Structure 1
């Protein structure tokens, strides 16, 4: 470097403003010495009039010093928290979703904890995998045809896991742990992404049987800030590890030999913050960029994964010797004849099984009576203040609004002036109250969002659980009864069939080998898919049905919200790309503030072009009179899972 040259730091500023989603050049003062790429810095931003946090993404030398540049104010920490591979992943994921890289990095990099950083040492030994643990893991992997080859070749696969209990844990947890041990023994890291705390705890229990504690790194929102930062620093080290966490764990900066997404149909794997990237999409981008194997595992298959399988992007992997739960269907006609909620066949099976061990009863909703209707005209009972649905917390209690929480004392039906209400549906607590009288002497356990239960012993009990809140039973449930199936299928959602099949399949997988699983009051394709355990076939039929309608995931869908003056120009720019005439739906009015909404349907081949065009429209809007419009700016959400067409 000549005497007249100066060092330049290219900085990515941590800001939610879309117009700042680019690299800024700053002069790097000589007194800072050697500054590595990827460290945190503070830099002045003239437009904001204050100091901003950022990351050094690249360093350069500039011979022409005539250009006016602000200087880096300070180097916050010497620790490299943004390695090149993480920056490239964040950039590519953000570009695909028409978002900002800093929004992705905010999910991937925790806030700095000074004490943790000072005590941290990157000199970590490679965790040892015991021969016995590796033997056990390889035995589990060997049950699946082609799985070991996919792991060795760094391929992509959709894995249909065996739906059975093995001791105190589901087989699915043992399979994921086995894959992690196999990859760790080869000197590479494994990233295991699960939807929620229950799945994570089961997976950690399975890993604890095979690996020492220092080989496993938790990465989730339940951790304290110091623990989360400590875990993040561990994933920066060269020593391999097994990362277990929720959706943001997919961005862990370790060098991954495999990334596994468990139950990708769970909505918890979809990020609720901009740019709304699903963990499945981030994992696909990461695998394409870094290599390593990618597995989507579950008891069911989403249409998103089926699209990849059908297109040849992923291979199918099943167990060499398949086993599935024994599912018994009760058609709706049988319920209509007796007007009962649980048919006699399911009731007798539950009573017999309850004498030997726990029985699971899955219901649609928590609480006592989630909804009430007028006792005379059967009109839905609504709150007089906000119009929300009224429900009952217990038998004989005053109705309470589910939205504003007000008690509806002196309620009167606006249609017929009646003052009495009746129960329209049964929640977990009401079901427990009803079945408790029918099963005298049997322990009743309620598990829902308000009363979470993680595990039940292998003793006689009746477990009433809402979907997704089913606890694990030691040895598996002696019987499973799935209630409210017809009500679940009535939800006005595009993917409700997929969701119901996933809820029911996950509950059925908790049954003991050979135990009956009764699906009550449901027939049709979803019920047949569960009874024959052909979830992949159902996903394939759903995919074929959506293709003529250009619905996701056959097509990608973008949603635009804003004032007509900003939405319509953005749509004109999209139409100029040569999309089909009916690619744009809307705009239509939403709300009372003059805002409109439009949907744009486009193929995957046009994804990069459409994303770039829409992102440019968002940036242009953000730089024009933002203060005057307040919250009325252009809002963009790509890859809508449930488009409201």
Structure 2
């Protein structure tokens, strides 16, 4: 096995790059003042790879009490003042030079726990990223006014400081003083919830018993649809309260605000509001920071939220849960581009916590956890599944095509129209479409090539019926447009959006209300009255009592997306929409326009786990993720070639590229001249830990020596292939 050089950069590598190292060691001002632990080790808030290490500073006597691990600090670095996080206090440093003292404590309130520092290290290694980038995601922006209610009790403690052996006052950490004051009254213990909601699932109650016993049980759960009493939010709320009622902190993560509202409503029925808090980047800075501090100080046993909540500082964490981990909203769009599922997996491993990944569909990553026996499967028996699922009616099979030959080309086949007409007598009907907008893409009438903007080559679309074609990138109106391939001036619709679909169905059903839920106008719920609900994937509102039917339009278009995960993503979207429909026992039906395929078979049988296991086996045979891991290196051609030449690439690591990118929309590094290229490295999970550390070390080394242009390294990016 190839051994990688993962040693940290030596200080002499930084000389000559305009960075003045913090002097370390010897006789310092802190030692002269008899500070017990005179050296503070600090993470600098930086985007520079070779500065991703701990730097030592002296602790002045005046800052001794406030300079506690986890606080924000200001330090002198490279001739300027920068922000950082104090990682630890130690007795001495290894460098022979004099230490620079800490300049300022931004706030004496610690905001990073030792567990979050350890998590940042693990994520930086896994994603070949930087620890400061992870800490920036984990700690929300500071709001000074919010801290006052937590810092005020500390002032009352100063008059009663304890004395040491010489009669001198011993410094009291602000966090310790605050915690003693705020938590003086112990909250009443939570009542264990009723776990009967898990009785429909094989090994479900045993999983809840393990949570109560503090066992690190891990499971992947295929949730039943259309359950009249226990939705997915009830199941997650019960599991969160079950862990918290037995003395462990609990964390629940969902992909969007609509799901968060459902989970919060279910949780409020099981526990007092002061025992849980929500944490999401969508909240305003003040309530977000207040929720963060409540979790940090142990004032809430349960934290729920969107992807940013995956880093929540929870006391005595014992359980993590995630709903619909296949949703792309759980992927962080900033470096190091972590997936919330992986953050929770690492936290469960580092803290020996229980974990539960839930969904109507099962992602291939979750199936790999079951296949590798890291997690067990919680699912219902086939008889129970049949009693809760709607009936799925495909329009693209041979039988239906023989009855209606035009169904192959019609966007709304006759069978879908007839089902909708009948179902509207019993309640609302859901219509799922692939795209938002009116006509989101245009193409040439003659050669069918996509219509592109003459200025930036962006896609053209129509915002409403009488509008002129407009570029989706630069916003310019395409007057006098002509096809660049054949010169034709007439265009045709390449795809139909939710607004155009609502317009067409409104004419077909003139007496039925039409509700649109797409783009920025997402509805969270609707009533039980008959209505046509036109929604894009993820925007489907919950109907009171369930939908009487659902039409899954544009099914083949979803399957034909230019992505390795197009079939898996399409199936997840279909399951999520069909799960909102009533069971077939009370008339629930789902019509899909998908052509015959293994994906359609999984929907008809309602077998998400069977398809996910089949998919992971197929990926294993051809060596594609998630059966293997990937690292995408993006940048200039010369920069990528230099980076790859600096790597020690083992024989079992496969390299693809570099190749130029046609639309490098996800490249976030500084602009470079010329074309942007990408190379992809494929490697096994067994190789992964050492190899990603090696990628991180090489990137830091090249950055320090300024040997090449910067490159972006993204590990396990779901949108890469």
| TM > 0.5 | yes
Query: How far is 1:383 from its partner?
Result: 2.4
Distance 1:383 1:571, change over 3 A: closer
- Does 2:406 match 1:337? yes
Equivalent residue for 1:299, pick from 360, 380, 392: 360
Equivalent residue for 1:449, pick from 497, 514, 519: 519
Aligned counterparts, 1:607-626, within 5 A: 607-625=688-706
Deviates more, 1:537-546 or 1:4-13: 4-13
**1:555 match:** 628
Show CA shifts across 1:615-639 (max 9, x none): 112112212348xx7xx31221111
Aligned counterparts, 1:204-603, within 5 A: 204-254=264-314, 255-319=316-380, 321-322=384-385, 323-331=388-396, 334=401, 336-338=405-407, 339-514=409-584, 515-574=588-647, 576-580=648-652, 583-590=654-661, 593=674, 595-603=676-684
Distance 1:488 1:30, change over 3 A: same
Show CA shifts across 1:99-144 (max 9, x none): 111111111111222111011264246655775xx44x42213333
Distance 1:385 1:107, change over 3 A: same
Equivalent pair of 2:72/2:83 in contact (CA under 8 Å): yes
Provide the C-alpha distance between the structure 2 equivalents of 1:447 and 1:513, rounded to a whole number of angstroms: 23
Aligned counterparts, 1:70-89, within 5 A: 70-89=100-119
- Does 2:249 match 1:178? no
SS of alignment partner, residue 301 of structure 1: coil
Equivalent pair of 2:630/2:715 in contact (CA under 8 Å): yes
Distance 1:424 1:638, change over 3 A: closer
Equivalent pair of 2:221/2:359 in contact (CA under 8 Å): yes
Provide the C-alpha distance between the structure 1 equivalents of 2:658 and 2:294, rounded to a whole number of angstroms: 48
SS of alignment partner, residue 562 of structure 2: coil
SS of alignment partner, residue 342 of structure 2: helix
Distance 1:579 1:261, change over 3 A: farther
- Structure 1, unmatched stretches of 5+, are none
- Does 2:174 match 1:143? no
Provide the C-alpha distance between the structure 1 equivalents of 2:279 and 2:413, rounded to a whole number of angstroms: 44
Distance 1:596 1:466, change over 3 A: closer
Query: How far is 1:590 from its partner?
Result: 4.5
SS of alignment partner, residue 107 of structure 2: coil
TM-score by length of 2: 0.83
Distance 1:209 1:89, change over 3 A: same
- Does 2:707 match 1:634? no
Equivalent pair of 2:468/2:478 in contact (CA under 8 Å): yes
SS of alignment partner, residue 87 of structure 1: helix
Provide the C-alpha distance between the structure 2 equivalents of 1:241 and 1:73, rounded to a whole number of angstroms: 36
Query: How far is 1:336 from its partner?
Result: 4.8
Query: How far is 1:331 from its partner?
Result: 1.1
Distance 1:352 1:43, change over 3 A: same
- Does 2:62 match 1:31? yes
Show CA shifts across 1:217-262 (max 9, x none): 1111121111111111111123442211111211111032211011
Provide the C-alpha distance between the structure 1 equivalents of 2:502 and 2:527, rounded to a whole number of angstroms: 18
Show CA shifts across 1:393-434 (max 9, x none): 222332222222222222233444443333332211111111
**2:162 match:** none
Show CA shifts across 1:294-347 (max 9, x none): 111101111111112111111111136433332121216636535422222221
Show CA shifts across 1:73-94 (max 9, x none): 1222221211211111111111
Equivalent residue for 1:105, pick from 135, 140, 156: 135
SS of alignment partner, residue 370 of structure 2: helix
**1:50 match:** 80
Equivalent pair of 1:456/1:473 in contact (CA under 8 Å): yes
Query: How far is 1:476 from its partner?
Result: 0.7
Equivalent pair of 2:56/2:93 in contact (CA under 8 Å): no
SS of alignment partner, residue 623 of structure 1: helix
Distance 1:391 1:634, change over 3 A: closer
TM-score by length of 1: 0.92
Query: How far is 1:16 from its partner?
Result: 1.5
Provide the C-alpha distance between the structure 2 equivalents of 1:84 and 1:64, rounded to a whole number of angstroms: 22
Aligned counterparts, 1:182-197, within 5 A: 182-197=242-257
- Structure 2, unmatched stretches of 5+, are 1-29, 151-177, 663-672
Provide the C-alpha distance between the structure 2 equivalents of 1:505 and 1:448, rounded to a whole number of angstroms: 18
Distance 1:417 1:100, change over 3 A: closer
| Number of equivalenced pairs | 631
Provide the C-alpha distance between the structure 2 equivalents of 1:248 and 1:202, rounded to a whole number of angstroms: 18
Aligned counterparts, 1:86-165, within 5 A: 86-120=116-150, 122=179, 123-124=182-183, 128=188, 131=191, 134-135=192-193, 137-144=194-201, 145=203, 146-151=206-211, 152=213, 153-165=215-227
Provide the C-alpha distance between the structure 1 equivalents of 2:129 and 2:242, rounded to a whole number of angstroms: 36
Equivalent pair of 1:108/1:251 in contact (CA under 8 Å): yes
Provide the C-alpha distance between the structure 2 equivalents of 1:395 and 1:439, rounded to a whole number of angstroms: 19
SS of alignment partner, residue 71 of structure 1: coil
**2:720 match:** 643
**2:51 match:** 20
Query: How far is 1:566 from its partner?
Result: 4.0
Distance 1:643 1:32, change over 3 A: closer
Equivalent pair of 1:150/1:156 in contact (CA under 8 Å): no
Equivalent pair of 2:207/2:217 in contact (CA under 8 Å): no
Cα root mean square deviation, aligned: 2.3
Query: How far is 1:565 from its partner?
Result: 4.5
